[in-house]
Amino acid sequence: MLKYVIKRILLLIPVIFGVTALVFFIMSLSPGDPALAILGVDAEPEAVEALREKLGLNDPVIVQYGRWLWNFLHGDLGTSYASGRPVLEEYFYFFPGTFKLAFWSMFVAVIISIPIGIISAVKQYSLIDNVGMVGALAGLSIPNFWLGLMLIMVFALNLHILPSGGATAPGAVILPAITIGTGMTATITRMTRSSMLETVRQDYIRTARAKGVNSKKVITHHALRNALIPVVTIICMDFGYCLAGASTTEIVFAWPGIGRLTVNAINSQDRPLAIGCLAMTAIAICVSNMVMDILYAIIDPRIKLTGGGK
């Protein structure tokens, strides 16, 4: 197990290098001048030039990247141009918000999709199955920013029962969690359904039925436990992607989270913050994928952890 974890962490290193180099290069193509953006358009040309020199913007991109990488390896991701605070501090200031939202979104997704997935599988090709599957697909097809706005329109502006944004008011997490959660139901529902369908065809289910176990108990005790193993994987993977922050949802609900932080940083060409956020996101996704693989091996002892990659 330890060997496996070390191997995965070593594999993470080239990915982080690649991601940051790529983002660094793309952002350096931007015609905007960060120094001018910080000082404002009315700034003296000398002051702008001095700041460019101070920020190291006059060096070639490769030198800038080298310097960034060196600092990164020393745990320093630089300082945000906009707020003047260290990037890591900014990131971890917003991280709890995104984590909380990710947790509740997963909660919504799971309580909707697992029951629908089970019912669809048990009553395959029935009306419920068809409606459930199309409904799950519809959940995937609704743009998050639109669903968010519609929920605000109904529950905040017209019914006045839930706050329209922010994170401080009680119940503020409900609407954004529903928005993100419904988008994730499609994959989880389908996975639950196909996994259940596969499991109920297994020999031990037939044995249980033959023994005279009632069909409800067969489903809940025998089939469900085994069928949920691949579903747990999908859930963990979705959770990893949630940690990147749901940008449009966070913006619609003015939710203080990583997604909004990243989008604002990219939009305002706040390079240290943008690159720092994207690097941290890549790490978060890789780590959650690794945790998922390990969890998978714990839940299902038939799986052996070998090799690296995906």
- Closest contact distance (angstroms) between CB of 291 and another protein is 17
Residue 161 as a binder of another protein (CB under 8 A): the answer is no
Total chain residues near another protein (CB under 8 A): 52
Nearer to another protein, 97 or 148 (CB): 148
**CB 270 within 8 Å of CB 80:** yes
Per-residue mark of binding to another protein, 113-132 (x: CB under 8 A): -----------------x--
Diameter of the chain by CA atoms?
Answer: 87
Six-digit token string for 35: 């120094």
Extended beta strands in the chain, E state? none
Q: Which residue of 6, 9, 10, 22 would you call a contact of another protein, by CB under 8 A?
A: 22
CA-CA distance, 51 to 54, in Å (whole number)?
Answer: 5
| Residue (142 or 213) nearer to another protein, CB | 142
Q: How far apart are CA 298 and CA 192, in angstroms?
A: 20
Residue with tokens 């020999």: 203
Q: Annotate each residue in 215-254 with x if it binds another protein (CB under 8 A) or - if it does not, as one string.
A: --------------------------x--x--xx--x---
Shortest Cβ distance from residue 207 to another protein (Å)? Answer: 27
The H-or-E segment that residue 310 falls in is: none
Amino acid of residue 35: A
Half-sphere exposure of 212 (CA within 13 A, CB side): 0
Q: Closest CB to another protein among 83 and 194?
A: 194
**Residues 270-289, interacting with another protein (CB under 8 A):** 274, 278, 281-282, 285-286
Residue 124 structure tokens: 């395959």
Task: Outline where 74-173 has alpha helix (H).
Answer: 87-122, 127-141, 144-151
Contact set with another protein (CB under 8 A):
14-16, 18-19, 22-23, 26-27, 29-31, 130, 133-134, 137-138, 140-147, 149-150, 152-153, 157, 190-191, 193-194, 241, 244, 247-248, 251, 262-263, 266-267, 269, 274, 278, 281-282, 285-286, 309-310
